[in-house]
Amino acid sequence: MKKEMKYVLQAQEEMSYLSGIAALLDWDEKTFMPELGITARGEQTRIINALIHSKITDKRLYSCLSMLKKAALKHHERLIIDELYKQITKVRRVPSKLVDELSRETVKASSLWQKARKINDFNTFKPSLKKVIALKKKQAKYLNPKLNPYDSLLNEHEEGLRSSVVTSLFEYLKEELVSLLNDIKASKKFGQIKPLKLGAQEREQKLLCDDIINRMGLSCERVAFNKSAHPFTIRIAPDDIRITTRFLEPMEAFLASAHEAGHALYESNLPRTYKDTVIYDAASFGLHESQSRFWENMICKSKAFWQGYFKILNKHIQVPLSGSEFYSRLNIVQPSYIRVSADEVTYPLHIILRYEIERDLISGKLKVDQAKGAWNKKFKEMFGITPKSDNEGILQDVHWSFGAFGYFPTYAIGTIYASQIHQAMTKELPNMQTHVQELSFKEITHWLKKKIHSKGKARLAEDIIKSACGEGLNPQVFVKYLRSKYAHIYDL
């Protein structure tokens, strides 16, 4: 089996380098590429993706894997072969005709979505969205014939998680969050706490963002930082990770940097022994999001953090507020239409709304023609307000246009995981609060590396969380965290 193993490892290595190239093409497109480069970039990306696809569907690779699957292997080889076999058999089940159709239709849908956004009209996007949904349902059946279509798509983002579980925990969460939101809205402080608008030159914002990224332990030897229209993190190689933010408002830029740096820490600390294999990857989308949310919310929006950091912020940007006034404004809770600028309390409600709609669109319970109505009705129920336009409502997110169904729930799952990690860490690190106040993050990053990052894709996200936190996904921990934090801010 030595020859077969060698072949498989070499194939993975090449795929890993090609994926790195695809990542660089993407990063560059979003950061540096001149506008008119887009046509050629599309072709360059197509060529690299076709090469990756031909490696994945290579017959010899499959026959090696099939042999190795039945062979006696060392533990680490077993992990690699089983995961790769699983991924590849799945890809092989989807007919290439369907892959092509999906690829062509999502390109079309993305362009129609952009057009629809420009004229603020969901109708323009609808016909293409219908086709994408029909194709995704087909794809779902091939990916995992034993699951219902939505579960199959969800499984691609959060392996092992079922929509029945998501539905019931989101039901609980919705009730709790709406109730907390209503308490906040009824409080005396609501309306007194004003939004935070600082304003600053891009250069000052950049220095501030550099500061938090460095404090979180990311070194510029390994991680590059730039700006883009939408913040993101991408791995080009194990020692070449890129993060971006945007410089509209200083605190938005700062929190987005901390968020992306959280993702980058995960990518930096994956298990090196599995470099250039399928195990050298995050366990799930939700677990990845837990790492970004942990730093953004549990650390960089916490009272303890600002007890230490407020004076540093003031070195970069003069804040004409007291520390406690600043802290309240930073954590202002306010129902609003746009997911990406939502606060900690309302953010998961935006996700639950999208989950309910996409789940029903895939099951067929909801038609695309009814989707906008459903969106606005649910929005009114949860937030007490109704979107005044499609751009403020159902047209705001790009995800569905590229076929990403089953993705949205992972944002909320990540946030819940983050609160569980925060709780477990607080128990285990007796001086956690002091560390955060003193902006000394070594023990925190060490904990994350040891219990989360270094596991790679060797285990399911849910199992990693069970080991790290003593229990699996538990929204009650998140609700408790929010209740305690916001009771303090809003005098509940």
Q: What is the residue whose two structure tokens read 């939502």?
A: 342
Residues 6+ away with beta carbon under 8 Å from 89:
none
| Beta bridge partners of residue 237, listed in sequence order | 240
Counting residues that bind its own copies (by CB under 8 A) gives 36
Amino acid at 413: I
∠ CA 145-371-100, nearest 5°, is 45
Shortest Å distance, C-beta 35 to its own copies: 5
> 264: part of which helix (H) or strand (E)?
helix 250-268
For the CA atoms of 21, 449, 290, 491, the dihedral, rounded to the nearest 10 degrees, stands at: -140
What single string gives the DSSP state of each residue in 207-220? HHHHHHHHHTT--T
Q: Return the exposure string of 251-283: e unless at least 16 CB atoms fall within 10 Å of the residue's CB, then b.
A: bbbbbbbbbbbbbbbbbbbbbeebbbbbbbbbb
Q: Which of 58, 107, 214, 238 binds its own copies (CB under 8 A)?
A: 238
Q: Which of 5, 200, 241, 265 binds its own copies (CB under 8 A)?
A: 241
Residue 380 tokens read as: 């009114």
Q: By CB under 8 A, which span of 37-45, 66-74, 105-113, 428-436 interacts with its own copies?
A: 37-45
**Per-residue contact string for residues 2-21; x = within reach of its own copies by CB under 8 A:** ------------x--xx-xx
Shortest Å distance, C-beta 243 to its own copies: 11
Of the candidates 166, 239, 248, 160, the one whose C-alpha atom is nearest the C-alpha of residue 202 is: 248
Q: Which is nearer to its own copies, 175 or 202 (CB)?
A: 202
Residue 375 tokens read as: 């969106």
Shortest Å distance, C-beta 17 to its own copies: 5
Q: By CB under 8 A, which span of 22-30, 62-70, 81-89, 364-372 interacts with its own copies?
A: 22-30
Q: Does 36 bind its own copies (CB under 8 A)?
A: yes
Beta strand 233-237 with 223-227 is unpaired
Q: Which is nearer to its own copies, 34 or 191 (CB)?
A: 34
Residue 309 tokens read as: 């950091």
C-alpha–C-alpha distance, residues 309 and 317, integer Å: 12
Report yes or no: 94 and 143 within 8 Å, Cβ to Cβ.
yes
Q: By CB under 8 A, which span of 27-35, 285-293, 450-458, 470-478 interacts with its own copies?
A: 27-35
Instruction: Calculate the alpha carbon distances from 263 to 102, 111, 140 in Å.
Output: 29, 28, 28
Quick one: CA dihedral 76, 425, 158, 10, positive or negative? negative
Instruction: Calculate the alpha carbon distances from 424 to 262, 438, 444, 469, 478 in Å.
Output: 18, 20, 11, 5, 12
Q: Which is nearer to its own copies, 10 or 467 (CB)?
A: 10
Shortest Å distance, C-beta 58 to its own copies: 15
Residue 344 tokens read as: 């900690």
C-alpha–C-alpha distance, residues 173 and 354, integer Å: 14
Q: Does 229 bind its own copies (CB under 8 A)?
A: no
Q: By CB under 8 A, which span of 138-146, 230-238, 372-380, 408-416 interacts with its own copies?
A: 230-238
Residues 174-203, interacting with its own copies (CB under 8 A): 203
Q: Does 223 bind its own copies (CB under 8 A)?
A: yes
Residues 118-177, interacting with its own copies (CB under 8 A): none
DSSP-derived letter for residue 295 is: I
Q: Which is nearer to its own copies, 72 or 229 (CB)?
A: 229
Residue 49 tokens read as: 């993706």
Q: Which is nearer to its own copies, 6 or 380 (CB)?
A: 6
Shortest Å distance, C-beta 250 to its own copies: 19
* 456 backbone φψ class: left, alpha, beta (φ>0; ψ -120 to 50): left
Q: By CB under 8 A, which span of 158-166, 190-198, 238-246, 460-468 interacts with its own copies?
A: 238-246
Residues 6+ away with beta carbon under 8 Å from 149:
136, 137, 140, 141, 362, 363
Q: Does 33 bind its own copies (CB under 8 A)?
A: yes
Q: Which is nearer to its own copies, 32 or 172 (CB)?
A: 32
Q: Which is nearer to its own copies, 47 or 340 (CB)?
A: 47
**Per-residue contact string for residues 39-78; x = within reach of its own copies by CB under 8 A:** xxx-xx--xx--x---------------------------
Q: Which of 49, 144, 226, 445 binds its own copies (CB under 8 A)?
A: 226
Shortest Å distance, C-beta 280 to its own copies: 12
Q: Does 471 bind its own copies (CB under 8 A)?
A: no
Q: Which is nearer to its own copies, 78 or 275 (CB)?
A: 275
Q: Which is nearer to its own copies, 223 or 256 (CB)?
A: 223
Residues interacting with its own copies, by CB under 8 A?
Answer: 14, 17-18, 20-21, 24-25, 28, 32-37, 39-41, 43-44, 47-48, 51, 203, 220-224, 226, 236-242
